[in-house]
């Protein structure tokens, strides 16, 4: 016969027999249910982030928009999260996906000037090192100008927090149902 002791602060509860078996099984089922639910949330967030990552971004390397679900198990906890598959990082160890952002509201684009631009007085002389086909350039507001927010927070972190909150509200009922099913 086994005995299980649960300690929290100054309180110790000792369980044995059928109650110990039921509580151990309930904890195992609850942990499995929580892990499955959190992994499902993380997979959905990763899938949604991959689908919309490059919608508002001009420079595309194809590396920073790939995401995967990572489960880290230690002696005291299990962490489930969404991580970029891009291994590039800066000197501080921040991943490349950290820096990807939408164009800001005042971002500009340069294009080669046409004859109409010269006649209208919109063309500028080409700056050194930025010659565009031997012509002048026109600097315009970026038609894709947006809020300038970083995509990691907008497409991964915020949706993950919101979905975890929604799932956690229903999680207690799912755990009870799983324990009653005996799975």
pLDDT number for residue 133: 54
Closest CA to 133 of 107, 113, 105: 113
Place of tokens 């700056």: 127
The stretch 135-163 carries a mean pLDDT of 82
Q: Model confidence over 10-62: pLDDT tens digits?
A: 888 877 778 877 877 787 788 888 888 888 898 999 889 888 887 777 666 66
pTM across the whole model: 0.65
CA distance 80 to 48: 17
The Cα 178–Cα 169 span in angstroms is 16
Who has greater pLDDT, 177 or 183?
177
Chain centroid to Cα 167, Å, comes to 17
CB 125 within 8 A of CB 136: yes
- Of 154, 163, 135, nearest to 38 by C-alpha is 163
Tell me, what's the pLDDT at 55?
Answer: 77
Q: What percent of the chain has pLDDT over 70?
A: 83
pLDDT of res. 144: 76
> In whole angstroms, what is the distance from residue 156 CA to residue 47 CA?
10
The whole-angstrom separation of Cα 71 and Cα 162 is 19
* pLDDT-based confidence at residue 158 (cuts at 50, 70, 90): very high
**pLDDT at position 134, please?**
54
Per-residue confidence (pLDDT) for residue 126, from 0 to 100: 55
First-to-final CA distance of the chain:
23
Convert the pLDDT of each residue in 135-146 to its tens digit.
Answer: 677 777 877 777
83 burial type by CB count under 10 A (0-12 exposed, 13-18 middle, 19+ buried): middle
Domain chopping of the chain, boundaries: 3-102+150-181, 108-141
Long-range contacts of 133-136 (CB under 8 A, 24+ apart): 136/112
How buried is residue 110: exposed, middle or buried, by Cβ count under 10 Å (0-12/13-18/19+)?
A: middle
- CA distances (Å), origin 100, targets 50, 52, 61: 13, 13, 11
Mean pLDDT, all residues of the chain: 78
Query: What is the pLDDT, as a whole number, of residue 60?
Result: 67
Task: Check residue 162 and give its pLDDT.
Answer: 92
Q: Which range (1-15, 25-39, 100-114, 147-161) has the least confidence?
A: 1-15
Q: Note the pLDDT of residue 85.
A: 78
Q: For 112-124, how does the pLDDT look when each residue is reduced to its tens digit (9 = 90+)?
A: 777 777 777 766 6
């Amino acid at each position: 016969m086994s005995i299980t002791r649960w300690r929290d602060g100054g309180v110790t509860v000792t369980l044995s027999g059928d109650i110990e078996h039921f509580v151990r099984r309930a904890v195992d089922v609850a942990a499995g249910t929580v892990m499955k639910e959190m992994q499902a949330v993380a997979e959905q967030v990763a899938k949604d982030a991959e689908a919309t990552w490059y919608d508002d971004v001009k420079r595309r390397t194809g590396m920073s928009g790939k995401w995967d679900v990572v489960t880290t198990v230690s002696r005291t906890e299990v962490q489930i999260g969404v991580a970029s598959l891009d291994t590039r990082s800066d000197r501080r160890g921040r991943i490349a996906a950290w820096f990807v952002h939408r164009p800001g509201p005042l971002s500009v684009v340069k294009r080669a000037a046409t004859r109409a631009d010269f006649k209208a007085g919109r063309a500028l002389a080409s700056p050194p090192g930025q010659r565009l086909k031997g012509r002048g350039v026109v600097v315009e507001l970026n038609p894709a100008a947006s809020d300038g927010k970083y995509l990691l927070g907008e497409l991964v972190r915020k949706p993950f927090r919101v979905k975890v909150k929604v799932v956690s509200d229903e999680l207690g009922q799912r755990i009870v149902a799983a324990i009653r099913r005996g799975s």
